[in-house]
Amino acid sequence: MSLPPKPWPVGHADLLEPLVRRVLAPNPSPFTFTGTETYIVGAGAEVAVIDPGPDEPDHLAALIAAVGEAKVTAILCTHTHRDHSPAAAPLSALTGAPVIGCAPLVLDSSGPRADAPFDKTYAPDRVLTDGEQLTGPDWTLTAVATPGHTSNHLCYALEETGALFTGDHVMGWSTSVVSPPDGDMAAYLSSLDKIYTRTDRVYYPAHGPQVDKPRQLVRGMIGHRRQRERQILKLLGAGTGTIAAMVPQMYKGLDPKLHPAAGQSVLAHLIDLEQRGQVTRAEDQWSIRS
């Protein structure tokens, strides 16, 4: 999807519903769309901040201005990619609020790890597990464990209004990148199934517009992943056995800057198919298991 026309409202607090405000960070890119969207939850004296975003002085100043007289009582991150969590520590220092939410990521140091995009400084005061709740005077947030995009990904459900903050699990503008070894396609698909069974009214993703028909979008995404899988099996059947050869055929028209990310999603599908016994690999050559 191409970018909407500039200027998009960086640094401005948009009121989406009485309990939810959104502040866009100034970090647009092919991976972040118009930038990371930070959400402020609560209309009273105590608020929570979800996905504080990159550690950028302008963004922190915009968040502090948006919060105003209220007290920040929790800083929550959906996961620890560098466009989501680095502002947690400085925002905590400015407001005194604890960092609560997703677990820090444990990355294996051996082998080629996809750790460059991760925020290694993230150090939560408290980790939430699936179903755990955090409350304020007028809000209740429930953690919904949704591993796949990253192993530590959480969505947060706002019980009072039926909103789900989906982070990068489901976005309004693009499918999520699932990048092994931390990204896991089987986990991602079961996390899509998991939120498909919920009855959320609206999704507020970390990138792109709000999603007003959540189940329709999730159903489409599950179908899209199944279609990608069929495409891969077809290419393998026709003798195309490397990811480098598959990507241009599968992602026609994609910005070449995003080819490596697309390749990671193809790898994630191949690993899932390998674990299910359908394909095998020899070095970088993949084939249908006979």
Q: Which residues bind Zn ion (CB under 5 A)?
A: 81, 168
Contacts 24+ apart (CB under 8 A), 192-199: 192/148, 192/218, 192/221, 192/222, 192/225, 193/222, 194/144, 194/146, 195/144, 195/146, 195/155, 195/164, 195/166, 195/169, 195/170, 196/222, 198/144, 198/157, 198/164, 199/162
Nearer to Zn ion, 149 or 269 (CB): 149
Structure tokens at 107: 């990355």
Residue 169 and residue 157 in contact, taking contact as beta carbons nearer than 8 Å: no
* Minimum gap (Å) between residue 232 Cβ and Zn ion: 23
Tell me the closest approach of the beta carbon of residue 209 to Zn ion, in angstroms. Answer: 17
CB of 78 to Zn ion, least distance (A): 8
Q: Which is nearer to Zn ion, 84 or 225 (CB)?
A: 84
Taking the least distance from each CB to Zn ion, the nearer of 149 and 228 is 149
Least distance (Å) from Zn ion to the CB of residue 173? Answer: 13
Work out the number of other CB atoms within 10 angstroms of the CB of residue 98: 16
* Nearest-approach distance from CB 236 to Zn ion, in angstroms: 28
Q: Do the bridges between strand 46-50 and strand 71-76 make them parallel or antiparallel, or are there none, so unpaired?
A: parallel
Which residue has 């993230």 as its token pair?
122
Q: How far is the CB of 140 from Zn ion (least distance, A)?
A: 25
**CA 195 vs CA 39, 111, 145, 188: distances in Å:** 20, 33, 10, 11
d(CA 61, CA 64): 5
Identify which of residues 26 and 162 has a Cβ nearer to Zn ion in the complex: 26
Shortest distance in whole angstroms from residue 27 CB to Zn ion:
12
Q: State the nearest-atom distance from the C-beta of 248 to Zn ion, in Å.
A: 24
Angstrom distance (rounded) from CA 28 to CA 37? 10
* Whole-angstrom distance, CA of residue 258 vs CA of residue 263: 9
Nearer to Zn ion, 151 or 210 (CB): 151
**Which residue number, 155 or 246, has a Cβ lying nearer to Zn ion?**
155
Please, which residue, 78 or 142, has the CB nearer to Zn ion?
78
Q: Which of 250, 260, 49 is nearest to 156 (CA)?
A: 49
Which element (helix H / strand E) includes 282?
A: strand 279-282
- CB nearer to Zn ion: give 168 or 229: 168
